[in-house]
Structure 1
């Protein structure tokens, strides 16, 4: 697998290096001699063109190549010629326009390979061929073909060949033309340019020029770096990318003169383009050979310091006054010459109007920055032959018949000499040069039709119209409808087109059946069909179904009980779409004209009637609604309770009750029940009764739950015996302390404690709602100031005596507390108040034994107390 991967990478590397540097080539020949036995010798020359760059993945011009001769009678290989390079030149851009801001380098190399080829005469002649495996992948106008070349397995490349004549094709002893120039030419994107592809024929034959297809290539190089021999014909054209093609390789704005071989026009957008020129050689009006040159043209972006630009022709001939547009470089002086002797100098780039006094053809010229060495100019032909107006009309809008277009253009000078119609279908055959063409649109739709017209004086204009084409003429008619058998009906039909109408059935039950609006009076269900025929005899039909009714059916909803103050939607069922009238029978007022109106019935009872009408046919039905009051529900209490306390919920006003949220309620279906909410809760009771009003009525009881009271009496502490200590409680708005022993005030938040033995005090904190919470504080009264040190500790994790620490009494600052092993190694050190040693050193348990400690602190009298001793660590 590794060998296969290496081979693929080597092949891809060879493919890249070996061919992408080649940008074109040509093969041509010159007759040398012939022998009596029919052998002909030609001197064959191939020119290869290469980019000038060098570096990684860019091979140099080949020192030698293989040229392969194929017999055209059977496409069999005749002979392979190993040809060394005879000549080498570099073509650089000569004179660079100094007014281009960023002139790019233009350079290519030419390699020349020559050899004599001797072949026996045959019928069709011989092909002398050279192939390169791969073109540049980034060509604008051709695809980087992913498909393999049919006989070689390689992708898009290039094939350069010439055809030696045979007895039936060409002229034996003929010499092919040769191209005259090998120029490095700068082609600027979207600018005018010319490129000389002219040729000379040594036999004096007539030459014509045309763009033609480039061909794909073949194999890569052999191991020596020399391009391998060619594959036999036939050869295949490269795949062009629309809108480019072999006959239009640089787009629609570039052409080649068939008589001179000069390529000219407006260059396309920047990029690399494949261009192939075929020189056809004629003798006595007979085609005897074709010379081909395949070349990559680089189109680059050029920025000129000054650019003069305006339309190159003003030919509308609308009046004697012409509006000239200036699309030139801004911020420069402009000099206008209008061709009739009048001039204008201005710095304003806005459009310029000039009125001519005499009709005629003028040449206008615009100079931009005329006095500068980099100034530029543009010319335009001006046709002043007023008044000309392009116009047309059309008839016919149906796919069944051609539309007729009529030129109605007018001109005061000359005659109409040229027409070009575009019918907007997007197909190549949708044009015409007739003054009054007809065109069959095969599909319905909207088409933008354009007429371009020119007069004998060269005036040009176009007119356009949006043509709407239908497969059937538009037709609108009455919709299917109901009809009372006692009534008549006027049908309606219309079209945006003109034409005639005909209704069927045409019997005694229809009046004026050949009009768009007949009157009918059928006695039974009938389908009427209207046929519309437009002026082009295109036809469309519509059908109208008339549902004839002798009687109507309507039924209201059942009598029922509703709630006072509630809107009620009245409903009825019917057998058709009729006109409806609902009436309140108590007040004799109309309350609705739809099938399902909404009403507000009045207590204690309201009756309604519905009338259904279809012309002279009608029917009615009634209903009665009993109106009762909904329950008058009341829920209590809205109150506050302490956390954990129950509350008694009470509701009244109905027969059935439901409390929610039910998970706090002991009996959710009872009107009176206990609830124990954990948080503030809005209790909702839903009440119904048995009086007939189906409405559920709700009320709420809001119970605010006071959170648990977090009373705090302070942290347990040690106090110097005989020294007063001030307590401080939090968590409520008032407090009580117990027991009262030694307290200055049992109802103060911060009483003074002065006692002669250890004491636990309990504080009760009260909220404004009366909720309570308690907390304790233990006070140890010890003689001091002093620092008390235990003589042993057991850090075994049982929660008892796990920490060895000093107990300061009346000490305001700890200078240090240190523990050493018996060899003097420091085991623990801290200055923190009430902190101590847990019996570990750097995460490891210290061994059982005796340790030395030292402590120093400052008491409330600013006296320094220093102590030392030993402690036993046990486990």
Structure 2
């Protein structure tokens, strides 16, 4: 066996561990090749296999698999025409489980179907050769449940690719089918499927239904040396009524494939498992380069048609009016929501689980959900959605007089979704803070009002706040008037103002205590009277006034001796609590004024017109002004002695 030098990179997609007894159940496969480097003649070869992963079709992937590349028939070795040019094994790579897609939006595949895929890869050097090569992979056997071939459990599976001389010369790559093969077809429902392929070189592709292949070689299980050329392969034995063009029971709408697009259509009317082969031919400039085949086991079953519309909703615990809608529908392909705001055209959504914020609270809305609109499986439901009342943060306070205690309480409302309030945080706007539901603060008069903030936190973590203007009652402009000077024994009129009610003290010197202007008659030289003024809001301010009651007095000696000895030569007035002398007159015994002055500091030296007066008794009379502004008079006798 002539094995060429090779570089092997192997990747596989698998399903489950391997059971020797059931290793034969392959349900499909395909081959491909790709030119990686023309100068090096380096190619990547791929074998994609499918097995069942549940039930009677359960099987394990082979590890490894064996692939052979043969010379063309025209250039076979005459002595041993069955001898392959290259033979290599491919180890098992990781596997992938196919999605059970019904390709019908209203139908759901049963859970009993499970298919896994493994993609084996190997990189080989393949020199140019007249006539090209054949790549082949063979395996025994097919599943016994296949409905369109004879004795399927004894029929092998074979795939091959002809790598033509022209394909080698142009470093061609074979087409590769784009999509996974369909795992299920729904009984009695039209089936449309894109079975097209991708071509790396952009060549023209033509599609057709073709024969599934077996091989003429008595080997069971793994074919370790697939030592027959493609000439020995043959079609699987189709049961009567079936062939490659009619591989499935569908008398009304039989299976067809568009030769240009690769779109496969059929309406199966009989449940079962059918082998179907799709061939894609690659042409370049009218020349055939490669024919690639996918051979797969199609399963026809009754699909599920379960669908209904339903939803729940949850108000957001913190954001007022925000509702999260939870789509609990079954069989959903797409949705249409109407949130029942009659004045809006934007109150809709196509999201599966949308959010919507309502602008009004405490109301009911008829919310409608439609699923699968425009499909046969359309359904809808309308439910009443109640928007909870919005939470409210409010401040209540008892307005107080400035410098008095202002008490605060919260007037907050929270709904059942917000949770109970767990924290109250106050900022009074004057630098003061507090915590609790009911608090107090003393405000000064530096501002005419204060911006007080309350922030609440609920047990669900919601935070909200409010800022309110807090003012106060000003103090009355209580004024007790100007300080007053009176003569002792006289009364002073007090002048209170600036308040709504008044209270004077001490009461014993007043003719009334609860009027603005009482009469004060103090008995002491200096008395302070206090006035407590009260505004109509009950705010009070204290002021005071001084009443100075003084006793006026002028003392004049009873005699003096104006004899020039500088001792008691001049008689003077001695004023007490006198601010001004209006006149002082001294009379002799004949009534003649011998001295007159209005100067409190002037005195009589016992002369009149420069002449000493006789010894005797003289009469004086004076008029003075007290500090209170009243007149003070007096008279008496003085003796002039020598």
TM-score (norm. length: structure 2) = 0.40
Q: TM-score when scaled to structure 1?
A: 0.30
Bigger Rg, structure 1 or 2: 2
